[in-house]
């Protein structure tokens, strides 16, 4: 090649690189003004509190008894009004929508079209308006993406029942009954005139075959559609443990991990800020592998969730402290999502046996610990519900009006009987309500970087009912004290043999009453004794900012 051509090619390459640098590249996504961004080396979701919504049960805008996207838009100001100076909204900056695709079931986890919106919920235009309205208020939105299986009514599966169909290999088939159990303990093989298909959850949810690269390519396209065309901010990935079987390994297989590594490359290429959070319902020792490398951004921490809701029914903090310490040691910072219960579990208020003070304890713990918190709709007002599933997905209780203020007609599912005494309107102006506590602690978390992304440092207490810890960030130190007993603590001594502190700290009360004394750091970066001198109420808490003098 002559030197003139080489020179021209070189200059063209330089020009292209300069254009890319100025514009951010062909796939770069510029931050959206008003949306939460990352702190230090943490991604934006580490600064967020998410709210899980079952659209069918949130708010009915058109009087057909079914919640819809326009109803959700109507209630966005309840979640976040977009004005950081107000305190009358909940303050969440993220929403997770349970499935919004067409499906034959009420819950939507058996999808029949990945590229459409459930017509009972609205239209694609309604969804785009929701995204615009949410973003204007500083709320990001992720949607449920059901990758493991489709509905048996999906056109793909209807075609696949023909052995000669090009989609036959999109699902897992056997010519004879394998006689082998599934990963969930049930029997996963179902008969058709042309063989047996694999479906670990239910006969109506046949598993997709991710050993077939065509299936992977199609799901990459699905993700691209929702990220590019519909502007979503990420995905909650249902049943993430079970996508790829490898011989007798039916959950968490090496091939499953490899698949998520490749999926990450695909969606991050479309939008580097897109987030995935995986439902990997297992012990921390197993789920950590999904976030240790380049797979998922977050995993739900089921082990910690069950420990929080269980331990607030007791009066000692010792075991819970050990579980938290273990969690922090297992996961890299910012890699897991915290929650109390979700749409598959009995509601928090049932788990804590109807005790509001225990629900407040659980909320306080959730919103002061490391991790990205997720709240289940209605949790903030103490909605009740226990299995079967329809009873934990009942209409949101907005008021004491007919149908709990959810609809002007008979809802798809009756609201809980207690909606007259337990609703948003009743708790809205009550500073002692559960709703007010959620608002307070979400605002605290939003205003204090240490509570969002600070390191967790456990603190020793001379009272085993006290859950005591520091959240330590280079810009801020916060001391959290949570009294799990049914009695106030009037005398408390704290200590930390060694830690990350230095010098002397003045104490400023962020939540609670009283004037705690200053704290003197020892030579090991901890403190030998800190006699607090402030009462901690029964089932109450103090949040204290420590400012270096």
Instruction: Name residue, tokens 């610990």.
Output: 369
Which of 518, 530, 463 shows the shortest CA–CA distance to 494? 530
Residues forming beta bridges with residue 244, ordered by sequence position: none
Which 3 state secondary structure label does DSSP give 83? Answer: coil
Q: Helices 318-330 and 302-311: crossing angle, nearest 10°?
A: 170
The conformation of residue 489, written as its DSSP 8-state character, comes to B
284-317 in b/e burial notation, b at 16+ Cβ within 10 A? beebbbbbeeebbbbbbbbbbbebbbebbeeeeb
Which of 450, 455, 469, 451 shows the shortest CA–CA distance to 320? 469
Output the DSSP codes for 217-248: HHHHHHHHIIIIIS---EEEETTGGGS--BTT
Which 3 state secondary structure label does DSSP give 61? Answer: coil
Dihedral angle of Cα 439, 444, 445, 450, to the nearest 10 degrees: -170
Cα–Cα distance for residue pair 412/431, rounded to 1 Å: 33
The bridge status of strand 140-145 relative to strand 94-97 is: parallel
* Element of type H or E holding 481: strand 476-483
424-457 in b/e burial notation, b at 16+ Cβ within 10 A? bebbeeeeebbbbbbbbbbbbbbebbbbbbbbbb
The conformation of residue 536, written as its DSSP 8-state character, comes to B
| Active-site position among 68, 207, 238, 446 | 238
Instruction: Name residue, tokens 């420990």.
Output: 307
Which 3 state secondary structure label does DSSP give 405? Answer: helix
Cα–Cα distance for residue pair 55/72, rounded to 1 Å: 7
238 is catalytic: yes
Which of 369, 403, 446, 422 shows the shortest CA–CA distance to 89? 446
| Active-site position among 52, 89, 279, 446 | 279
228 is catalytic: no
Where in the sequence numbering do the catalytic residues fall? Answer: 238, 279
């Amino acid at each position: 090649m002559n030197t003139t051509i080489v020179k021209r090619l070189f200059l063209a390459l330089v020009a292209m690189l300069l254009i890319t640098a100025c514009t951010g590249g062909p796939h770069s996504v510029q931050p959206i003004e008003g949306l939460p961004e990352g702190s230090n080396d943490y991604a934006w979701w580490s600064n967020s509190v998410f709210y899980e919504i079952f659209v069918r049960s949130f708010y009915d805008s058109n009087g057909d008894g079914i919640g819809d996207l326009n109803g959700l838009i109507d209630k966005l100001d309840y979640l976040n009004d977009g004005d950081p100076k107000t305190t009358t909204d909940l303050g969440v900056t993220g929403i997770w929508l349970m499935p919004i695709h067409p499906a034959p079931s009420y819950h939507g986890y058996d999808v029949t079209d990945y590229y459409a919106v459930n017509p009972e919920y609205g239209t694609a235009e309604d969804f785009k308006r929701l995204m615009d309205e949410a973003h204007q208020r500083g709320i990001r939105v992720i949607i449920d993406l059901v990758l493991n299986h489709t509905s048996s009514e999906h056109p793909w599966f209807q075609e696949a029942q023909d052995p000669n169909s090009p989609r036959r290999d999109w699902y897992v088939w056997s010519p004879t009954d394998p006689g082998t159990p599934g990963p969930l303990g049930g029997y996963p093989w179902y008969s058709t005139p042309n063989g047996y298909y694999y479906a670990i959850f239910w006969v109506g949810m046949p598993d997709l075959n991710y050993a077939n690269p065509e299936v992977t390519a199609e799901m990459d396209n699905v993700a691209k559609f929702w990220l590019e065309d519909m502007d979503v901010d990420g995905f909650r990935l249902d049943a993430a443990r079970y996508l790829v079987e490898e011989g007798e390994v039916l959950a968490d297989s090496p091939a499953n991990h490899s698949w998520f590594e490749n999926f990450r490359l695909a969606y991050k290429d479309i939008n580097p800020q897109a987030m995935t959070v995986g439902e990997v319902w297992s012990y921390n020792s197993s789920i950590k592998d999904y976030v240790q490398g380049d797979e998922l951004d977050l995993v739900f921490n089921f082990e910690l969730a069950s420990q929080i809701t269980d331990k607030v029914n007791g009066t000692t903090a010792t075991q819970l402290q050990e579980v938290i310490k273990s969690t922090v040691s297992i996961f890299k910072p910012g890699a897991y999502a915290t929650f109390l219960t979700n749409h598959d579990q009995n509601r928090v208020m049932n788990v804590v046996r109807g005790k509001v003070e225990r629900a407040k304890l659980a909320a306080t713990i959730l919103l002061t610990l490391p991790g990205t918190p997720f709240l289940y709709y209605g949790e903030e007002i103490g909605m009740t519900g226990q299995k079967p599933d329809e009873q934990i997905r009942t209409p949101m209780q907005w008021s004491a009006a007919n149908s709990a203020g959810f609809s002007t007609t008979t809802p798809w599912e009756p609201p809980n009987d207690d909606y007259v005494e337990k609703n948003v309107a009743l708790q809205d102006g009550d500073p002692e309500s559960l709703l007010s506590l959620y608002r307070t602690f979400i605002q605290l978390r939003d205003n204090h970087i240490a509570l969002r992304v600070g390191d967790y440092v456990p603190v020793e207490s001379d009272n085993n009912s006290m859950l005591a810890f520091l959240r330590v960030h280079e810009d801020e130190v916060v001391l959290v004290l949570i009294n799990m007993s049914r009695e106030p603590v009037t005398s408390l001594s704290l200590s930390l043999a060694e830690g990350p502190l230095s010098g002397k700290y003045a104490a400023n009360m962020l939540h609670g009453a009283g004037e705690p004394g200053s704290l003197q750091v020892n030579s090991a970066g901890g403190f030998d004794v800190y006699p607090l001198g402030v009462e901690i109420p029964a089932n109450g808490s103090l949040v204290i900012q420590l400012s270096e003098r």
